[in-house]
A and B are shown apart, each in its own frame.
Chain A
Amino acid sequence: MAELKDFLKSLLSLPGLSGYEDPVRAVIREAWNPLVDELSVSRIGSLHGLKKGYGDEPRPRILLSAHMDAIGMIVTGIEDGLLRFTEIGGVDARILPGQPVTVHGRRELPGYVVQPPGWLLPEDQAANKAVEMKYLFVDTGLRAAEVNELVRVGDLVSFAQAPIELTGDLLAGHSLDNRASVAAVTACLQELQHIRHIWDVWAVASVQEEETLGGAYTSPFEIRPDLAVAIDVTFARGPGSPANYTTFPLGKGVTLGWGPNIHPALYEAFKKLADRLDMPYHDDLMPRMSGTDATGIQMVAEGIPTMVLSMPIRYMHTPVEVVSLKDIARTGHLMAQFIAELPADYMQTLRWDDES
């Protein structure tokens, strides 16, 4: 668990905005290198790790997809040394004033998102109203001349909040969506070091989930898995979140996705396994779409039976997302056990209810 925590903290300290995942990919590559037989990078930047099974060739393949990209901001203008910006991925402007960030200019510049005094804003941005993103700035503390030299329109701005251990089990930070899942896949690969499995396992740290699902569509096309699991985060119940079917208790188990993105037989298989392992879980009902890589994966090529596993986090898409390390470990364990038990002829047994 300590190793898992340290790895996750190292991931949370890195940028890697959608479309610009290199910094985080380098660290994942290093972590996966001893755990897989082959590593490669897709044409658009997803990391592919192959851990070979011992079955006869051609071996069936399972793909584990965890997106590594993060939400953030991008510079749209420079005024008197202060930076205007817009979002990459879904950012609620209300969490931004006072937020520590890094501006990726000609060199990395620390700074803060700042809200100008009310008298510099239009009247409709009065005190009880949220200040829209287009009226906020990033202040790097540098004077205008230096900013003009170092920053250009189009430079990225990433969250700089360092990860925080709230308690032994709870970690807070930015980009837990979805670095928590990268950690879960890594935990799975570690467990598989001690397990003989028939299937080939393709671990994928995918790109651009928050914007285009670019990695979700392209990696499965290249790998052509028989089965796929998208690993992502879901909503933990907590302050501000609705107490309905979309939220789950924090630290009380993994969630199993159920809905049109998910192959029902695959869901049943994971559910049975979780019951047998006496592992706590909740059903994550996704009536229309899952909001994960699964949305892309299931439609790749001639279609891929896909499952979604998630870990509940609080305050999603803020720099203080909170996750339970236990839930990450559980997710890794559930995947490893599923893979361990996959028989060579599993695809022949995967049936729709109405199939004879």
Chain B
Amino acid sequence: MTPKKTSPSTTPLIGTEQIALLERLSNAVAVSGAEHEVRKIVLAEIKDLADDIKVDALGNVLATKHARQEPALRVMLAAHMDEVGFMLVDGEDGLYEFATVGGIDVRQLPGKTVLVGKDHLPGVIGAKPIHHTTPDERRNAISLDNLRIDVGNENGKKVHPGDRATFATRFQQLGPSLVGKALDDRLGVVTVIELLRHAPAHIELLAAFTVQEEVGLRGARVAGYALDPQLAFALDSTPAGDLPTWDGEESPRYNTRLDGGPAIYVADQGTLSDPRLIRYLIQTAETFGIPYQIRQPGGGGTDAGAIHKQRAGIPVVSVSVPGRYAHTAALVARLDDWQHTLALMYHALEGLTPAILDQER
């Protein structure tokens, strides 16, 4: 099918309001399994945008915006609310051992500031002074069991094993870039909120703000079942590995590139995207002159990996905003890439009809 071209003036834009919402969401703390802070913001934002809103058994926010015309197509949009982080597991007097939640390279931890517990108490992850190290020692990474979260002995009374913590990074706009600790996947969360706001009349829009993506796509699995869509899009953030190589050689591997536009997934570790949806997204991008890139097939994954195997099968595709340094204190994404992601998804929904499911895969 060919996407219908509509006037570009109808394309929703990422403006100061959307960036302000992204800032609040990126600064909020929602380590996998404890997503309440982000859930609260999402519920408040979508209150007037959806016809039916519920929080399910795992903590997913499931929102339905009914179609206003026939034939309607049931389309699921998934964005995960959770982020990688830490859980305090042992300790006292302000010094705590901690475990990582989600895929975090321990080399990103020494010397960072963190927020601990519901009250966001400030803490630091220190490191042995360089004066006490040997050159040999400095060639090895500092292992997790040699690191502690330090909140100071006085605040130790307010902190307990079991509390969650995240990097303390505050959201920033640096020139063309957006920088934050949890842009993976608060970018997707805001995108889905905007798509709810601008839902086309013929789409039964099923928005899932999912939990526990970073620890095994758990929220997406039950959300996909419950919402029972005819097809689904996962909106996420994917690594941009477009940095120079150490020896100046051209790198054949980059996953995605900043400024390359939304990244359309063909295959990742858990999903083979539905070819009809891939083709349709590419056609939509080309029709509307929206830059896009095909994410290099390989590892990694999104909520799509759980959704496509629900019930009798659900055609899926993922679309991600490229971002450098995912799962570190500071992910760097481009505002333009985000804008183009929203534009692509908006136009894709607008032109989408049940006929797509009649095509040959």
- Inter-chain contact A139/B150, CB cutoff 8 Å: no
The interface-forming segment of B24-32, B36-44, B172-180 is B172-180
Q: Once bound together, how far apart are the Cα atoms of A319 and B126, in whole Å?
A: 9
- Inter-chain contact A121/B330, CB cutoff 8 Å: no
| A105 interface contact, C-beta 8 A | no
Closest chain B CB from A131 CB (angstroms): 7
Closest chain B CB from A11 CB (angstroms): 18
| A44 interface contact, C-beta 8 A | no
- Inter-chain contact B241/A314, CB cutoff 8 Å: no
- Inter-chain contact B131/A316, CB cutoff 8 Å: yes
Residues of B within 8 A of A131 (CB): 107
Residues of B within 8 A of A235 (CB): 129, 131-132
Known: A110-B174, A166-B150. A95 touches B111 (CB 8 A): yes
- Inter-chain contact B174/A129, CB cutoff 8 Å: no
Q: Once bound together, how far apart are the Cα atoms of A28 and B44, in whole Å?
A: 47
- Inter-chain contact B132/A242, CB cutoff 8 Å: yes
Q: Once bound together, how far apart are the Cα atoms of A59 and B243, in whole Å?
A: 63
| B22 interface contact, C-beta 8 A | no
- Inter-chain contact A166/B124, CB cutoff 8 Å: yes
| B139 interface contact, C-beta 8 A | yes
Q: B174's closest neighbor in chain A, by CB?
A: A141
- Inter-chain contact B175/A146, CB cutoff 8 Å: yes
- Inter-chain contact A120/B129, CB cutoff 8 Å: no
Q: Once bound together, how far apart are the Cα atoms of A94 and B143, in whole Å?
A: 11
Q: Once bound together, how far apart are the Cα atoms of A246 and B128, in whole Å?
A: 13
Q: Once bound together, how far apart are the Cα atoms of A95 and B150, in whole Å?
A: 16
Residues of B within 8 A of A315 (CB): 111, 124, 126-129
Residues of B within 8 A of A137 (CB): 243
| A170 interface contact, C-beta 8 A | yes
Residue among A112, A131, A141 with most chain B CB within 10 A: A141
- Inter-chain contact B138/A320, CB cutoff 8 Å: no
Residues of B within 8 A of A224 (CB): none
Q: What per-residue 1/0 map shows which CB atoms of A299-319 lie under 8 Å from chain B?
A: 000000000000000111111
| B361 interface contact, C-beta 8 A | no
The interface-forming segment of A96-104, A193-201, A262-270, A335-343 is A96-104
Closest chain A CB from B254 CB (angstroms): 9
- Inter-chain contact A318/B126, CB cutoff 8 Å: yes
Q: Once bound together, how far apart are the Cα atoms of A91 and B138, in whole Å?
A: 11
| B207 interface contact, C-beta 8 A | no
Q: A315's closest neighbor in chain B, by CB?
A: B126
Q: B153's closest neighbor in chain A, by CB?
A: A167
| CB contact list, A64-106 vs B, under 8 A | 79-80, 82, 90-100
- Inter-chain contact B141/A114, CB cutoff 8 Å: no
Q: Once bound together, how far apart are the Cα atoms of A206 and B22, in whole Å?
A: 44
Q: Once bound together, how far apart are the Cα atoms of A300 and B156, in whole Å?
A: 47
- Inter-chain contact B154/A121, CB cutoff 8 Å: no
- Inter-chain contact B329/A112, CB cutoff 8 Å: yes
Q: A317's closest neighbor in chain B, by CB?
A: B130
- Inter-chain contact B150/A238, CB cutoff 8 Å: yes
| B112 interface contact, C-beta 8 A | yes
Known: A95-B111, A239-B146. A141 touches B246 (CB 8 A): no
Closest chain A CB from B163 CB (angstroms): 16
Q: A143's closest neighbor in chain B, by CB?
A: B176
Residues of B within 8 A of A112 (CB): 179, 325, 329-330, 332
5 A-B pairs with C-beta separation under 8 A: A114-B325, A114-B330, A130-B139, A164-B122, A318-B127
Give chain A's interface residues, CB within 8 Å of chain B.
79-80, 82, 90-100, 109-112, 114-117, 119-122, 125, 127-131, 135, 137, 139-143, 146, 161, 164-170, 172, 235, 238-242, 246, 291, 314-320, 322
Sort A-B residue pairs by CB-CB distance and give the 7 closest, nearest first: A141-B174, A95-B111, A141-B177, A315-B126, A240-B128, A98-B329, A166-B152
Told that A130-B142, A142-B176, A320-B113 touch, could you supply 5 new A-B pairs with CB distance under 8 A?
Answer: A98-B329, A116-B243, A166-B122, A240-B146, A322-B150
